[in-house]
Structures are given as C-alpha cells and as structure tokens.
Amino acid sequence: MSATLDRAPDWLTGRPIAHRGLHDRANGIPENTLAAAEAAVAGGYAIECDVQLSADGEAMVFHDEALGRLTEASERVDARTAAELGRLTVAGTAERIPTLPEFLARVASRVPVIVEIKSRFDGDRRLTRRTAEIVSRLDAPVALKSFDPGIVATLAEIAPDRPRGIVAEASQDDPHYALLTPSVRAELSGLLHLHVSRPHFLSWRVGDLPGPVPYLCRRLGNMPVMTWTVRTEAQRALAQEHADQMVFEGFRP
C-alpha cells in the first residue's frame, strides 16, 4: 500500500470483530494470543488486538501495562525485552506473549486485524512508529486505532495509507484518565480533535449508544462506527441499530 487513504475500506466493518481474538480462557485460549487469533480465523471473524511496547522497542500483543493479571511476572511490560516477554506463559497455558509481527504472520491476511495502540497520553510515539513500521511491510487488511488522538494524528502523517481510528466514549470514568485535565477529557469525549487526528473510523463504547457523537460521525461524517465491547443481547441490539459493526466477546455471533 502506498496511496493516501481517503475513507475506511469496506472490509473494516464487513464481519464481527473478536475482542482480543476469539479467546476462551476456561478452555485454554487466552486473550491476545496466537490461539485466540486462530480461533477467530476459524470462526470467520475479524480480530481486534492490543499492543504494548517492550523494553527494546518491540510491539507486543498484550493489553495491560503490567504483566500481573495474565502471567507469573508482575512488572510493567516495558520493563522486559521482547525475548523475555516471549518466554512468559499466559494465563497458565502453553501460550506465550507474541510480538505483533508474529501475530500478523499467523493471521496471514485470512481475516482483517484491527490493532489498538495503547497509550499513557505522555507523548511517547515509539510504539506508534514501530507499529506503523510493521504494518507498512504488509499488503494485508490491517487497521490501526487508539484512544489517544495524538497517536492517531501521528498515524495520519507516517501511515497515511492505513485505516486509522479513534477509540472513544462519552465519559472518562476509567482510572486511566485520572491525570487528564477536564478540558482534555472534553476533547476526547466530544472528538474535538478531529481536525488534527483525521480518523477514518470511530470505535465507540456500546454503553454510550445511542449518542450525538456516533450519530453525527455515521450520518454526516461518512465515518463508520464500530462499537465495543458487546457481551449481551441487549448490547448486540444497540450495536445493530446504532453502529456499523461490533467488537464482541463471550459469545459467537
């Protein structure tokens, strides 16, 4: 891919998107692992995954900033090298933490992948640049997104040929936002950064549907809306009425 992308491609919302892969921890398939990717591919679903930065600058497919919830280690992901992280087993299974190149190689373009670039809203763009570098080598249906509009704006500059999205919600009640000022929070919830971030799609919290932001994005902005994370029939009904596709977990659509 080389040309600047003007709009989100149809494949982005063409099929339901398995949240962190089609994981099933009770049956030995942890989130964001190669097994979860294979399960999603087998089911014909697109895949959403997360990346965190290793100590030596690699994009690791892992959701949390720290290792304690899913591995026997406890420190932050960026305290260990990619090789060290790759030796850790996930959730008591034989699965290990993959790098993004390993993850995308396993999917091998069989289904679309939407990669969420995690952020601490600190202006660090190393993970953004590494992720963009990885996907630039691929002729594959891979999109990039982030909660951080600064990251999305950077992607507009360094990866203009890739679909990019902003992840957002109507309020910032997660502790992750604790250090952000009220004005920054208002910018996030109202998408007041669109002139800078220039996303192709919106990823909006299902509990905040319906709402003016996703409505205007869909109806006036020609911007498809995917909604996260759909776990119940009631949420699925909201997604069907007010979004273009869902990021789902805990069931098979």
Helix (H, G, I), strand (E, B) or coil at 110: coil
25, exposed or middle or buried, with CB in 10 Å at 0-12, 13-18, 19+?
A: middle
CA pair distance 4, 86, nearest whole angstrom: 34
Which class is 12-248 in CATH? alpha beta
Does 21 have pLDDT greater than 70? Answer: yes
Q: Residue 179: its pLDDT value, please?
A: 87
Is residue 238 over pLDDT 70?
A: yes
Looking at residue 144, the DSSP 8-state letter turns out to be E
For the chain, domain boundaries: 12-248
User: Phi/psi of residue 142, each to 5°?
Assistant: -125, 125
8 Å CB contact between 143 and 114:
yes
* Alpha-carbon gap, residue 186 to 170, rounded angstroms: 9
Q: pLDDT band at 74, cuts 50/70/90? A: very high
This prediction has a pTM of 0.97
The predicted model gives 178-190 an average pLDDT of 93
The rounded radius of gyration (Å) of the Cα atoms in the chain is 17
Confidence of residue 1 (pLDDT cuts 50, 70, 90): very low
Residue 228's pLDDT is 98
Look at residue 177 in the predicted model and tell me its pLDDT: 85
Structure tokens at 37: 């990717």
- C-alpha to C-alpha distances, 17 to 4, 101, 136, 209, 241, nearest whole angstrom: 25, 20, 22, 18, 17
The reported pLDDT for the residue numbered 2 is 55
What would the pLDDT profile of 115-150 be if each residue is shown by its tens digit?
999 999 999 999 999 999 999 999 999 999 999 999
Average pLDDT of span 171-197:
91
Percent of the chain at pLDDT exceeding 90: 94
- Give me the pLDDT at residue 180, please: 92
Q: What is the rounded average pLDDT of the residues 68-92?
A: 98
Max CA separation in the chain (angstroms): 48
- Average pLDDT across the chain, whole number: 96
Residue 53 has pLDDT above 90, yes or no: yes
- Is the pLDDT score of 59 beyond 90? yes
Residue 192 to residue 161: CA distance in whole angstroms: 23
Is the Cβ–Cβ distance between 232 and 250 less than 8 Å? no
